[in-house]
C-alpha cells in the first residue's frame, strides 16, 4: 500500500497544537517538579512590538515564543504523529 502525500501545512498545524497541549500539560505538572525543570526559554522581542508608522498605514509586528520542556515534548510527539500519517 502506498503512503498518502501529506501537506506541510498539516505538519505546521500539528506542531502548533502539540506545543500548546504540551505546554498546558507541563503547566499542570510543574508545581510538583524541581524549580530547574519549570523554567522556560523566551525567544523574541519581550520589550514590545515593532511599530512602523508610515502615515498611510501602521504596521505592528511582534512575536514571542516561549519554549519549555512540555512544549518541546508535545512538538516531538506531533512530528512523530505526522510521519506516521
Which ranges of 30-84 would DSSP assign to H, the alpha helix? 69-84
> In the chain, which stretches have pLDDT less than 50?
2
Cell numbers describing residue 19: 506545543
First to last CA, the chain: 13
pLDDT of residue 35: 87
**Residue ranges per structural domain of the chain:** 8-84
Amino acid at each position: 500500500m502506498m503512503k498518502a502525500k501529506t501537506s506541510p501545512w498539516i505538519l505546521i498545524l500539528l506542531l502548533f497544537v502539540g506545543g500548546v497541549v504540551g505546554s498546558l500539560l507541563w503547566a499542570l505538572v510543574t508545581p510538583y517538579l524541581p524549580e530547574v525543570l519549570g523554567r522556560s526559554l523566551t525567544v523574541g522581542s519581550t520589550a514590545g512590538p515593532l511599530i512602523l508608522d508610515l502615515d498611510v498605514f501602521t504596521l505592528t509586528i511582534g512575536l514571542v515564543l516561549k519554549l519549555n520542556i512540555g512544549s518541546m515534548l508535545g512538538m516531538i510527539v506531533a512530528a512523530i504523529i505526522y510521519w506516521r500519517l
